[in-house]
Amino acid sequence: MIKLETEEIRNTFKLLLVFLDTDLWETSQDDFKDAFRPGIISACDDVKALMDRIIKKVETEGPEPQKDVKQ
């Protein structure tokens, strides 16, 4: 994965949310979709990889999670 800088990640995530929250994708022409589809998929993969790293770090660092105590 190409390491994205913080600002790039913010901008990428904002763009992905636009596609999610609007009908931009559905109303776009096929040539637009064909041109942007690989980049969108790549950006989603990058964001997912970053989220996985954050989750792993949070799960493995710090105090142990508390277990449910039955009374």
Query: How confident is the model at residue 49, as a pLDDT?
Result: 87
Residue 6 has pLDDT above 80, yes or no: no
Measured between alpha carbons, how far is 45 from 26 in angstroms, rounded to an integer? 21
Query: How confident is the model at residue 64, as a pLDDT?
Result: 65
**Local structure of residue 63 (DSSP, 8 states):** S
Owner of token pair 């790549």:
42
Query: How confident is the model at residue 1, as a pLDDT?
Result: 47
Q: What is the pLDDT of residues 33-61, one digit of tens each?
A: 999 999 989 988 988 888 898 899 888 87
Nearest to 20 by CA among 53, 47, 1: 47
What does the domain layout of the chain look like in residue ranges? 28-58
Query: How confident is the model at residue 50, as a pLDDT?
Result: 84
The stretches of 1-71 forming alpha helices (DSSP H) are 6-21, 24-27, 30-60
